[in-house]
A = this chain, B = another copy of it.
Amino acid sequence: MSDERIVILAHEKFPERAKTALGVMRYGDQDVRAVLDRDRAGDRVRDHVSDLDDAPIVESFDEAYAAADGDLDALYIGIAPIGGGFDESWRADVEAAIEAGCDVVSGLHYFLTDDAELAALADEHGVELRDVREPDDDLTVATGGAGDVDADVVCTVGTDCSVGKMTASLEIVAAARERGIDAAFIPTGQTGIMIAGWGNPIDRVVSDFTAGAVEDMLVEVGDDYDLLVVEGQGSIVHPAYSAVTCGILHGSMADGLVLCHAAGREVVHGFESFDLPSVSEYVDLYEGLANPVHETDIVAGALNTKDVEDDEDAADAVAAFAVDAGVPAADPVRQGADAIVDGIVDAGLGGSTVPGASAGAADE
């Protein structure tokens, strides 16, 4: 949540294997007072990641609490083992946080509220265990209501899992705000929810309510903004996760789509016997599937070039991707999301306050 003073647990995994921790540190409004990593204790965040706000890396919650003079609101679990279980080596830190009056925020599949010991301790100390992966009980089927919100809606859609849809969405929101567009991020996954401080974990809702859970969020905030950027999930031709993708696509009733891809990716991540279609085929698939529910187009592209070492090669890859997709494109991390926002604005999206892509430059 905004301005929360927090500690992030990332034992033995900071920074490379602490995706959630990095996401919250890079994009969240939280005030990160310390990172817990027993393997890096004594280092500083900036020793490892130069573009983040600095903070000490410490061995235990107690040490973090002392360093912060007790000014702490919450402990965030910033890592997720394969399978999403709770690692027993974290228990002492979680218990110490609860005893110190801190909420505990977790995106694990394993719900902290289902852990009888932790639940009892939290109860005793009057703190909240916030399992962001647990859906609200009052979700229901979509009604088509996302089409009626005042804001324009953009949805990031992918050629695969793990191509950077959440990052692209957050960078688009940041770049749009820079131009004076009143934009907001609509999270759909656990890291996005931890960053935003609210949201429905779409991959965990009852399948019949997939689109409805997206609509629910858009209706909740849709009249407060000019542009909403919905974090997409998976890919529409993913052998396992396409249902979630499809529900987000139709539930968002997006006015524009941003196609996200990772440079060099040719087969489905983790399902290597499945080839990815060509970029232009994805454009046709997403537009063809979305249009009968709500008219839309691919309006921009985001290419993740983290595996391309040379900057010039990366720029070439982005240029080629833009040609294949037929829209403006950028690597939002390497190049910033301005070209992507250009595509969104050129499609007439982002609210009446934005007369055009070039006018936006006046803010810069």
Query: Which residues does A use to contact B, with CB under 8 Å?
Result: 141-144, 202-212, 236-247, 249-250, 253, 271, 273-277, 281, 284-285, 288-289, 292-293
Q: Are A250 and B238 in contact (CB under 8 A)?
A: yes
Which of A141, A242, A276, A288 counts the most B-chain CB atoms under 10 A from its CB?
A242
Give chain B residues whose Cβ lies under 8 Å from the Cβ of A250.
237-240, 242-243
Q: Are B246 and A236 in contact (CB under 8 A)?
A: yes
Q: Are B237 and A293 in contact (CB under 8 A)?
A: yes
15 example contacts (A-B, Cβ-Cβ < 8 A) are as follows A144-B239, A208-B240, A211-B241, A211-B243, A236-B246, A237-B250, A237-B292, A238-B250, A242-B247, A242-B293, A243-B250, A245-B246, A274-B292, A275-B292, A285-B288
Distance in Å: Cβ of A2 to nearest Cβ of chain B? 28
Chain B's closest residue to A276 (CB) is B292
Distance in Å: Cβ of A279 to nearest Cβ of chain B? 13
Q: Are A284 and B293 in contact (CB under 8 A)?
A: no
Give chain B residues whose Cβ lies under 8 Å from the Cβ of A292.
237, 274-277, 281, 285
CA distance A245 to B208 in the complex (A): 10
Give chain B residues whose Cβ lies under 8 Å from the Cβ of A212.
240
Q: Are B207 and A239 in contact (CB under 8 A)?
A: no
Which listed residue, B208, B253, B277, touches A244 by the CB 8 Å rule? B208
**Which 10 A-B pairs give the minimum distances between C-beta atoms?**
A243-B247, A210-B243, A246-B246, A237-B292, A142-B240, A203-B208, A243-B243, A141-B240, A207-B207, A207-B210
Distance in Å: Cβ of A274 to nearest Cβ of chain B? 7
Give chain B residues whose Cβ lies under 8 Å from the Cβ of A202.
207
Distance in Å: Cβ of A91 to nearest Cβ of chain B? 24
Which listed residue, B144, B203, B237, B245, touches A271 by the CB 8 Å rule? B144
Chain B's closest residue to A241 (CB) is B208
Q: Are B274 and A242 in contact (CB under 8 A)?
A: no
Give chain B residues whose Cβ lies under 8 Å from the Cβ of A206.
203-207
Which listed residue, B144, B238, B247, B277, touches A207 by the CB 8 Å rule? B247
Distance in Å: Cβ of A140 to nearest Cβ of chain B? 9
Chain B's closest residue to A143 (CB) is B240
Give chain B residues whose Cβ lies under 8 Å from the Cβ of A277.
292
Distance in Å: Cβ of A139 to nearest Cβ of chain B? 11
Give chain B residues whose Cβ lies under 8 Å from the Cβ of A144.
239-240, 271, 273-274
Distance in Å: Cβ of A203 to nearest Cβ of chain B? 4
Give chain B residues whose Cβ lies under 8 Å from the Cβ of A238.
250, 293
Distance in Å: Cβ of A293 to nearest Cβ of chain B? 5
CA distance A281 to B291 in the complex (A): 11
